[in-house]
Amino acid sequence: MSIPHTTTSADVSSEAARRRTFAVISHPDAGKSTLTEALALHAHAIAQAGAVHGKGSRRGVVSDWNEMEQARGISITAAALQFTVGDVVLNLLDTPGHADFSEDTYRVLSAVDCAVMLLDSAKGLEPQTLKLFEACRARATPVITVINKWDRPGREPLELLDEISDRLGIHPTPLNWPVGIAGDFRGVTDPDTGGMTEFNRTPGGATIAVGQALDADEAARRHGQDWQRAAEEFELLAASGHEHDQEGFLAARTTPVLFGAAVLNFGVAELLRAVIELAPPPSAWTDVERQPRPVDAPFSGFVFKVQTGMDPAHRDRLAFMRVCSGRFERGAVLTNARTKRPFQTKYAQSVFGRERETIDEAYPGDVVGLVNAHALLVGDTLYDSRPVRYPGLPRFTPEHFAVFRPRDAGRGKQFRRGIELLDQEGIVQVLVSDRRGVQAPVLAAVGPMQFEVAAHRLEQEFGAPASQESLQYGVARRVAPEARAVVNRQRGAEVLERTDGVAVALFNDKWRMRTIASDLPAGSLPPMFGEDDGVGP
């Protein structure tokens, strides 16, 4: 006879305190996916790192499982990795690097407690980095900064700190300092010992680069002026108020800064230690009534991503759910706050890139993959016993529009099914109208690469190759019901309906939109972006 498992509030709080849930964000090509895999390598979650392009005998990065990602060497979908270091459970969410998929990145940032912001040592702050940081600032998410690619020629470290301070308005507090200029990376200072950690290369950076601890005298003997300069600059920074401030970091007023070279696995152990020691554990989530739900409250979870096609053999649909409170138990029947209907969690898995395994329990901060979750949408809340609903996620304002049609009329059913799933995943927004019909939906996107992904998946996953025709629209607005007919009669404008029922007016450009709006009642064309645009509560 089996004894039922009972979990107390203290058990849940203790398990939550062990979790660190964080995302890695950056501008494209800053080394984000390489760093993600290097962290997994140093945590001994994998035995050997792979390059993004999988050169030679090395496989592609674990987090880039999609065929297009592997071919292009960029991340276009979010991926979840979970591994344990000592007694700490790390939930790492790798985010899309390309700006066209910023909406997916925003969803991931809604599910984490901390972010690691990666900067290229030669380029510093880039446009996508700035946007991602602002998304973190909007949610008061603490940010750890890593200045990457120090093994290549780059800028002065003090110059990079000044840029972070001036352009982001956040106070940088270095946790270590590079020994050797960018392009001649010897190691980093160790503030705990007063010495340094010297890095030694491994073949291709495929295995852990073991750091050797040197005291100050040995560092001076081996590295001379490079060590002396690093030690003096780090000491001056500490004396001028650039020491780490944990309270300021958690309040998102300061950002700890580290230096590394992810492709060589240099500085990765230091970052891993910083995440474990500094990143906050899960805390209470705020519901739509602005009431915090403590981590030891009855179970609740938030669906921040839906993905199909991760397992080509089964074509299943996976919902990524962040556990917000309580203990998740596989097999529990939960309630979907949006539909009020029960949801059976018989098939629950932990996710490591594309690899998955069944799990029986999870705690606040963990990410659970719910298989065959056809009833779940992005932004859904699941709960047990005590009802709760968390704020939904906004849909970004699209700027690119294209009509998709099936090339083979006999594959119309597969085409419609594929379009429906792409819409539910948030890959694109789908707009329809009586004029165009369901076989010619208008796909709306933040960036044109989303159309490439949509076309690729329609053909590869659903066997429904599609043709696409770009539309000369560049501005989208919601439209009030009483203004729909008026707008639809105008030249250079068209009204369609999003699949969630939101009426969307498309205009050739902002000048055409303003001309038409001048003849309408005030408030007839509100902006698209916002939690109240049909996605949020």
User: Binding site for GTP: what residues are annotated?
Assistant: 94-98
**Type and span of the H or E element at 229:** helix 216-239
* Cα–Cα distances in angstroms (integers) from residue 317 to residues 313, 341, 347, 359, in the given order: 12, 19, 11, 17
The token pair at 403 is: 């009509």
Q: How far apart are CA 340 and CA 353, in angstroms?
A: 31
Q: How far apart are CA 518 and CA 515, in angstroms?
A: 5
**Type and span of the H or E element at 117:** strand 114-120
Question: Could you say which DSSP state residue 454 is in?
Answer: H
Pairing of strands 88-94, 19-26: parallel
Three-class SS state of 339: coil
Task: Please name the residue ranges forming H helices in 400-448.
Answer: 412-425
The token pair at 173 is: 């507090």
CA 187 distance to own-chain centroid = 29
Give me the sheet containing 114-120, strands edge to edge: 79-85, 88-94, 19-26, 114-120, 143-148, 254-259, 171-174
Known binding-site residues equal 94-98
Let me know: does 278 contact 286? Beta carbons within 8 Å: no
124: region left, alpha or beta (phi > 0 left; psi from -120 to 50 alpha):
left
Let me know: does 479 contact 525? Beta carbons within 8 Å: yes
Three-class secondary structure assignment of 28-91? CCCCHHHHHHHHHHHCCCCCCCCCCCCCCCCCCCCCCCCHHHHHHCCCCCCEEEEEEECCEEEE
294: region left, alpha or beta (phi > 0 left; psi from -120 to 50 alpha):
beta
Question: Could you say which DSSP state residue 387 is in?
Answer: -
Three-class SS state of 488: helix
Q: How far apart are CA 507 and CA 71, in angstroms?
A: 35
Q: How far apart are CA 436 and CA 315, in angstroms?
A: 29
> Which is it for the CA torsion 146, 124, 97, 32, positive or negative?
negative
